[in-house]
Amino acid sequence: PIPLPLLSLQIFINNEWHESTSGKKFPTYNPSTLEKICDIEEGDKPDVDNAVEAAKAAFQRGAPWRQMDALSRGQLLHKLADLLERDRIILATLETMDTGKPFLQAYFIDLEGCIKTLQYYAGWADKIQGRTIPVDENFVCFTRHEPMGVCGAITPWNFPLLMLIWKMAPALCCGNTLVIKPAEQTPLTSLYIGSLIKEVGFPPGVVNIVPGYGPTAGAAISTHHSIDKIAFTGSTKVGKLIKEAASKSNLKRVTLELGGKNPCIVCADADLDLAVECAHQGVFFNQGQCCTAASRVFVEEQIYPEFVKRSVEYAKKRLVGDPFDARTEQGPQIDQKQFDKILELIESGKKEGAKLECGGLAIEDRGLFIKPTVFSDVTDNMRIAKEEIFGPVQPIMKFKSIEEVIRRANSTEYGLTAAVFTKNLDRALTLASALQSGTVWINCYNALHAQAPFGGFKMSGNGREL
């Protein structure tokens, strides 16, 4: 059953639920059925202003949040983690309804990541320390780590809850206050978190959630003179707009986690079974809608035919369908715009001479579902080798030498993640050092942990999450 009676569909400010100032609402849809789930209050600049005022008041000296000791902040985060565990089925259900991702993935991967992230930062709250510095003459010098103030967070539609927690947990751990705008396609779990924030006992104004559209509510956060820091996960195009808006307003600090066209390098000595499986999951997980997707697979020429053969076998076996079916591995794309973009890029691969090994089509009677697609004989100048597809498409390329693959892997405007599969430690370390990527995985893929920083180089963003 749909747990909407448990969920407020309004704007969350000062631990209270509000209608939008404009009176407008916007719909959110189930991408599996294309049916409207519900209407949400549409926040705009006046609502963002109200949220920022609440966050500023909560951050004032003498306010309950500022007077709270660090251990107590950590205890609130622990309690929030406990409530996510308690309501794990509800949250996973909402996430699956709103995004189309398989329920078991939402339950075991997304929610698990959220809970562990909250627990990790709950433990850090009372361990943030400065240091003393010996200086010349008879002076005492020490540093103090202090909260930034009011932080804006704009979250994406591919991992709505997990990316919210990635931003919220460290900000609250350090004593900041927050104004959050969830992606307009997927606001439901963020709004549910609002009810849990109040239940846990965070003081009013510490966390505020304003659903709405990017050009209105998102722009209002980016340009606001009373927001001290903004964190955004999403496209490189929008990331540039946010950074520009930050510079033109109050030079607020900016953390950007943007796109990726991530190389996955498979050497001839690799464990082939492991490499094929990891590359498969690396690109097809979450319907291919991952900034970390292994969307450029480079395979050493000696094993190329066998790797392609096994990859096609994996893709053909991948079950696409109802995300609430326990057998389903792949659900629908998020919306018609993304669906059309993916199919257009698939067509470009065919026209530019790549060999379509399997897939390449929509599943005709099911709306936004696309068959898992594998291309071989892909060259670096093809669009599917250069552009972020953000869909279930695996381009497989061939290489001859380590120096060649380093040069080709780095010849992109992105630099988020990379992976290397080899049994040779020297080769693994050489590649890891040479690749211009924020994260390099060795003989694994998508190994993300709350304890490790995450972020990219070049057009994949600035700064680090976690």
Which residues are marked as active site? 257, 291
* Collapsed DSSP state (helix, strand, coil) of residue 267: coil
On whether the CB atoms of residues 117 and 450 are closer than 8 A, the answer is: yes
Residues 52 and 179 sit within 8 Å (Cβ to Cβ): yes
* CA-closest candidate to residue 262, choices 248, 234, 282: 282
Beta bridge partners of 415: 457
- What's the one-letter identity of residue 408? R
For tokens 């709270």, what's the residue?
A: 68
How many other CB atoms are found less than 10 A from the CB of residue 68? 17
Residue 390 three-state SS: coil
Distance in angstroms (rounded) separating the CA atoms of residues 353 and 100: 32
Q: Are 19 and 39 a contacting pair, CB within 8 Å?
A: no
Q: How far is CA 188 from CA 55, 104, 280, 415, in A?
A: 22, 18, 30, 31
Written as one string, the DSSP assignment of 67-97 is HS-HHHHHHHHHHHHHHHHHTHHHHHHHHHH
Q: Is 213 exposed, middle or buried (0-12, 13-18, 19+ CB in 10 A)?
A: middle
